Amino acid sequence: MVALCARSDVVCETQFYFMKGVLQKADLLKKIKRLKREKNAVILAHSYQRPEIHEVADFIGDSLGLCIEASNTNADIIVFCGVNFMAESAAILNPGKKVLIPHRDAGCAMADMIDPEGLKNLKKKHPDAKVVTYVNSSAEIKALSDVCCTSSNAVEVVKAMPGNKIIFVPDKNLAAYVASKVPEKEIIPWDGFCPAHHFVTKEMLDDVRRNSADAKIIAHPESRKDVLEESDYVASTSSMINCAKKDPAKEFFVLTECGMTERLRSELPSKKFTGLCNLCFDMKKNTLESVCVALEKEKEVVEVEKQVSEKAMKAFEKMFSLTR
Ligand code: 13P
Ligand code: SF4
């Protein structure tokens, strides 16, 4: 017989039974589904999240899809299974709603590569440039920007922005990809990158391709320029599924965070997917247990300071107005 600690703010029922080894995956899945119903909560999960989190998610997708879902939901609570900047975006798009992130320390190495002071200085150096900010950034950075973009609409947004000079932050690889697609504009990149994508090189790709000449290559635009030049498709995580569905090829190399390869395998079991990939450890910090605890305790709440949130919202609204 186990006794439950009365201090539910310290250890809740889920944590207690999980630590005791009594709570199994099936119990957690059941409990999460019940809590969602009782609390009118919705679970939004990024493609890179663990497969067992996808099992309880109401929506799985890329950053753009998640932004749209977050702005359309009628739920009272949004449990955001992704990293901090994504949960912040959900909070910005839903003032007044409770947004929870299961693991408070789920950060983003690329988002941390830029700071507001640095961006202010770059803006001073190029006062005539418009600032296009990839959503993989903090709310403060978005608040200093003219418009946001995601990996799936970056080219469209830059094309649609007035003027010929664009400061593009924080991903230099996505900036280079955009520059190759919009040569009529000058793109001033920030020197950031995503380690999960940046450290997959062309040499690594050449190496794995030697024995599978017919395999198609699908790469995320956060990858290096020379890798993208070798790829058959450059796509956001959600678009990768459509590319693989439509292409008659039976074999694909997938160049993005490893979770996406698993997702492709489960969506399209008749095709072969090989990940040329690194893990994003921050994306993997959320677990089924922490999702359950987040719902039970209604923690960790993600809040964005009102002034910052209002300015960042304008950058989101601009993105939606240019692309919808
Ligand atoms: P998308 O979801 O837009 O494809 O971006 C991938 C990513 O790196 C998110 O952190
Ligand atoms: Fe950030 Fe890269 Fe992880 Fe995405 S995959 S959250 S860009 S570090």
What is the reported pLDDT for 64?
Answer: 85
Q: What is the Å distance from ligand 2's center to 106 Cα?
A: 10
Q: Regarding the domain delimited by 111-193, which CATH topology (the fold level of the hierarchy) does it fall under?
A: Rossmann fold (3.40.50)
d(CA 132, CA 122): 13
For the structural domain made of 200-276, what CATH number should be given?
3.40.50.10800
**Closest ligand 2 atom, residue 111 Cα:** 1
Query: 115-171: per-residue pLDDT in tens?
Result: 999 999 999 999 999 999 999 999 999 999 999 999 999 999 999 999 999 999 999
18-106+283-297 matches 111-193 in fold: yes
How many angstroms is it from 48 CA to the middle of ligand 1? 8
Sign, Cα dihedral of 162, 164, 168, 172: positive
How confident is the model at residue 324, as a pLDDT?
Answer: 74
- pLDDT reported for residue 5: 42
pLDDT of residue 7: 46
Q: Tell me, what's the pLDDT at 2?
A: 36
Do residues 121 and 115 touch, judged by C-beta distance below 8 A? no
What is the pLDDT at residue 264? 96
| pLDDT at position 9 | 54
Evaluate: CB of 194 within 6 angstroms of ligand 1: yes
Q: Domain 18-106+283-297: what homologous superfamily?
A: NadA-like (3.40.50.10800)
Q: How far is residue 239 from each of residues 100, 144, 151, measured CA to CA in Å?
A: 27, 29, 10
Which residue numbers in the chain have pLDDT < 70?
1-11, 17-18, 20, 22
Instruction: Indicate the residue type of 257.
Output: E
pLDDT at residue 126 in the model:
98
Residues with CB under 6 A from ligand 2: 83, 108-110, 136, 194, 196, 257, 280, 282-283
89 lines ligand 1 (CB under 6 A): no
Give the distance (Å) from ligand 1 centre to CA of residue 2.
Answer: 42
Q: Whose CA is nearest to atom 5 of ligand 2?
A: 280
Ligand 2 atom closest to Cα of 222?
A: 7
What pLDDT does residue 6 have?
41
- Among all bound ligands, the one having the nearest atom to the CA of 110 is 2
Question: What does the domain layout of the chain look like in residue ranges?
Answer: 18-106+283-297, 111-193, 200-276
Q: In this structure, what DSSP letter does residue 113 have?
A: G
Q: What's residue 33's pLDDT?
A: 96
Burial class (CB in 10 A: 0-12, 13-18, 19+), 84: buried
Contact 222 CB / ligand 1 (< 6 Å): yes
Cβ neighbours around 70 below 10 Å, total? 24
Q: Which ligand has the nearest atom to the CA of 108? A: 2
- Report which protein residue has its CA nearest ligand 2's atom 2: 194
In angstroms, what is the span from residue 26 Cα to ligand 1's centroid? 29
For residue 24, what pLDDT is reported? 81
CA pair distance 121, 141, nearest whole angstrom: 13
Report the alpha-carbon angle 18-105-80, nearest 5.
75
